[in-house]
Amino acid sequence: MKTFKTSLLLVSVFILVTAFAPPKKGQTYQSDEAKFSIIFPGAYESDVVTGENNITHKITCTVDNQTYFASYTVHQFVIDDQEGLAGVSYDSFLASIGGKEVSKSEWVLKKNKGLKAKIDLTESLSTLEYRVVLVGSIQYQLVVLAATGDYDDKAAQAFFDSFKLMK
């Protein structure tokens, strides 16, 4: 009987500790060059691709069968029609993945107008959310992708909400 009480006490303590333990925190990616930060839900990998007139930084993380992607492209020149180029970027992205637009709306970030969209990839039975905005000479893109049945909207929104432009 004493062993049972001890086991019950240990289980109770474990439940209390895990119930009130701080939530798992992700890993923050910060770029002083692009003046932003974002929190990934786990360990991320990064890559740099140099283009003719730009440099693109790509950061990727996969947790619980959901992929989180952020990129920023530093152009050599300031883009005058930032909202228009966001639309061109979105159209190009949609065409390249062969997706079907479910919804699209404006995404405003510190008075900079971009786009956000939800897209179905019917051939791969996947869902993704895409966001794009341009600020000065920097283009920011965020994507969350998962199989349609595995898509975690709450985790995706936490990722998008963690994206912060620095002053």
Task: Render pLDDT for 71-100 as a digit per residue (tens, 0 to 9).
Answer: 999 988 776 666 777 777 887 888 888 888
Task: Render pLDDT for 32-60 as a digit per residue (tens, 0 to 9).
Answer: 999 999 999 999 999 999 988 889 999 99
The span from the CA of 53 to the CA of 136, in Å, is: 15
The CATH H-level (homologous superfamily) assignment of domain 26-165 is Mog1/PsbP, alpha/beta/alpha sandwich (3.40.1000.10)
Torsion region of 54: left, alpha or beta (phi above 0 gives left; psi -120 to 50 gives alpha): beta
CB atoms within 10 A of CB 133: 26
The span from the CA of 56 to the CA of 140, in Å, is: 10
Output the pTM of the full model.
0.80
Domain extent listing, the chain? 26-165
